[in-house]
Amino acid sequence: MSVLSPVAAIGRSTMGALAAIGRIAIFAGRTASHVFRPPFYPREFATALAGIGYFSLPVVGMTALFTGGALALQIFAGGARFNAEAVVPQIVAIGMVRELGPVLVGLMIAARVTSSIAAEIATMKVTEQIDALVTLSTHPIKYLVVPRVLAALITVPILVGIGDVIGVFGGYLVGTLRLGFNPAAYIQNTVDFLEFWDIASSLIKGAAFGGIAALMGCFYGMASERGAQGVGRATKASVVAAAVLILAANFLLTQAFFSV
């Protein structure tokens, strides 16, 4: 043991992370190359649409509602320190739509969808179902990965849009019922304040985060080692990677969209 061993450890994990990013990039490239080449699997795509999109609605709705409400309370309390309580509708709208909506929906999708994709594909890997697919002349990336990633790219922006609306509605409920805002004025203020680009950026973020979430689930599932432990490790790694990448991508996208 030397004093340098923590440094060496940091170096090793940095190298490991770089190697993983390289492998993920190759995997993403291979997935993209299969999107437009037949055969296509509409049944798997439909199942993925329902699993990723429709069944995520309750969790997305709850997350957004409570966050919008809490946001209104905080902005009211914070704004009161310099007599700016009136900005609640505007700040709730911009905070929800530009940042919290996409990020929280992205993280909930990482928790709910990435984990289930990773566990499912990893189980298929360790029980030789992936090998069986290959022997049945079916490409695992085409059959398992492409439908899930496409479904996430399409449905997560929609979920983010719904989350934005419900989040703003959460702020509206707290604002009008607890903080004494006039209902009509609250809505008017929100609508007047939001610009096209606020909403477009929100949906673009949603697509990016959805793609990341599904891709991480597939990547770590396919890379799973043998046994139940392998499945567990793959699932954990996929959720961690998806969450970190979503937050990093959020920073980069915010930087790209809104920095002047």
Nearer to another protein, 16 or 39 (CB): 39
Nearer to another protein, 5 or 137 (CB): 137
CB contact at 8 A, 224 and 164? no
Nearer to another protein, 214 or 246 (CB): 214
Nearest distance from C-beta of residue 41 to another protein, angstroms:
7
Nearer to another protein, 3 or 136 (CB): 136
Nearest distance from C-beta of residue 199 to another protein, angstroms:
36
C-alpha distances in Å from residue 176, one per residue of 74, 172, 208, 250: 15, 6, 34, 31
- Binding residues for another protein, rule: CB under 8 A, are 39, 41, 120, 124, 127-129, 131-138
Nearer to another protein, 136 or 260 (CB): 136
Residue 3 DSSP class = T
CB contact at 8 A, 239 and 114? yes
Nearest distance from C-beta of residue 228 to another protein, angstroms:
14
Nearest distance from C-beta of residue 195 to another protein, angstroms:
44
Nearest distance from C-beta of residue 22 to another protein, angstroms:
21
CB contact at 8 A, 241 and 216? yes
Nearer to another protein, 14 or 33 (CB): 33
Nearest distance from C-beta of residue 137 to another protein, angstroms:
5
d(CA 140, CA 219): 12
Cα separation of the two ends of the chain = 49
CB contact at 8 A, 133 and 140? yes
Three-state secondary structure string covering 61-91: HHHHHHHHHHHHHHHHHHHHCCCCHHHHHHH
